[in-house]
Chains A and B, each alone.
Chain A
Amino acid sequence: EVQLVESGGGLVQPGGSLRLSCAASGFTFSNYAMSWVRQAPGEGLEWVSGISSGGSSEHYADSVKGRFTISRDNSKNTLYLQLNSLRAEDTAVYYCASHRSTTCYSHLDSWGQGTLVTVSS
């Protein structure tokens, strides 16, 4: 059974940083691209960032480009998202999700339960 478990969320002040992690199990993690998708309270889904299976290609939404960095460690079956220069509008539940392909040009077929990031003073 595919499992994706996010961690690392919490309360942070504006301008602060956090690192989110997503531990994967139940599938061959290194074979699939991964993405982060966020959902602000009461709002819809927003794709944030994606990374290819081998980690050579990274993609970012314009809203986070230059502030967030996605990475993965295939030896640890773990996906990361480094969040810097956080703003109030980054407050959201952050989901990690797996693509059904080595690249991000595919649907998201498994999702974690999410981790809440709250940016507030």
Chain B
Amino acid sequence: GIQVEQSPPDLILQEGANSTLRCNFSDSVNNLQWFHQNPWGQLINLFYIPSGTKQNGRLSATTVATERYSLLYISSSQTTDSGVYFCAVITQGGSEKLVFGKGTKLTVNP
């Protein structure tokens, strides 16, 4: 099955810093979503981005489908950005389930 790799696994920032999270996937996809899992376990949708670039406030994401990777940018980080960020994909054809990476754990210190 498809492999989804996220990097880095852990990231520690000072408040106000910028960061880039990466997601590599091993096969063609027609759905890619970025999620933020808060300390209570809720998965919050950030982006649905199978290709192209989107921005939402301090967050933006870019997916280059032909090269099989996606990037999540967080600018001017805040302590409330802490948590685990997951990339998840659905492959073209076959199952419609989301296949998740292992996540990037982000800690933003004041």
Is the A/B pair a real complex? no
